[in-house]
Copies of this chain bind each other. A is one copy, B any other.
Amino acid sequence: MNKIVREKNPLVHCITNYVTVNDVANAILAVGGAPIMADDIDEIEEIVAKANALVINIGTLNQRTAASMWAAASTANKKNVPVILDPVGVGASSLRNKVVTRLLKNNQFAVIRGNLSEMAFCAGKDSETRGVDSNSDDKKFSAAEIAKIVAEKYSCVAVVTGAVDVVTDGKNFAQIKNGVPAMSKITGAGCMLSGILGAYIGACEDKFSAAVNAVASMGIAGEISFEKFSEVGTGSLHIGIIDALSQIDDEIISARGKIVRYEN
């Protein structure tokens, strides 16, 4: 599906954190999309209306940008622009919890992507396990279980990233075993993936397969870079990931993708 992304060159509007915003823009360009970053509430609706996808990443949210996120998501829903949510660090502060809860309550997302802890919050499992009912069984949920709950609860594609990534829309299920642990030694691998998801989702009809391909693209890029730079260091690993994303194509994804579709 990467060929479709490169042909359609989807415009991906990002409201994203200032830590990794440059990497997100370059990652979107690398896989064939066109990024636009804009976060002022006075222009958010006009920009969303032109976009093929909207990516909301709450990494360095503030009260000003939170309002922009709410407005952008609502406009995107009205205009049928698919929205990707990256609830970075949700659970770490009541502000993040409030913003994500409001987004999830009022808006429809095409994809929600996070690590197990962030996705457990979206699944409502964080509050259960830490809530007043402290005598309850402190069940740990697997990535596959959390993904399914999120997909069904919000009628979206859920992506739980970790050592093995899980993607599901509640009906189709896939595990992606690409990627290397060293990717966690640079900042931005998750944010870049959410940007890439915007490009794939903005270009492709089949949202589940688009998400699977986006996740595999990021993991494969990490592997290719790690093969070159594991002995060099994390600065080069970082740059090598962008290099590899810019070279990715459907042949590489077919050849290197460790994608296992499974029945639930």
Chain A interface (Cβ < 8 Å from any Cβ of B): 17-23, 25-26, 29-30, 35-40, 42-43, 46-47, 50, 59-64, 89, 92-96, 185-188, 232-236, 238-247
Contact = CB atoms under 8 A, between A and B. Distances in A.
A216 to B, nearest CB: 18
A62 B40 contact: yes
A187 B20 contact: no
B39 A62 contact: yes
A186 to B, nearest CB: 6
28 contacts: A18-B18, A19-B37, A20-B25, A22-B187, A26-B186, A26-B234, A26-B235, A29-B186, A29-B234, A35-B187, A38-B60, A39-B62, A42-B94, A42-B95, A46-B92, A46-B94, A46-B95, A232-B243, A233-B242, A233-B244, A233-B245, A233-B247, A234-B243, A234-B246, A235-B241, A235-B242, A235-B243, A236-B243
Nearest to A32: B185
Given A47-B93, A233-B245, A234-B242, 4 more contacts: A25-B187, A29-B185, A29-B187, A236-B243
Contacts of A244: 233
A96 B43 CA distance: 8
Residue among A29, A89, A243, A245 having the largest count of chain B Cβ atoms under 10 Å? A243
Contacts of A35: 187
Residue among A50, A92, A245 having the largest count of chain B Cβ atoms under 10 Å? A92
Contacts of A240: 233, 235
A26 B238 contact: yes
A42 B93 CA distance: 9
A162 to B, nearest CB: 16
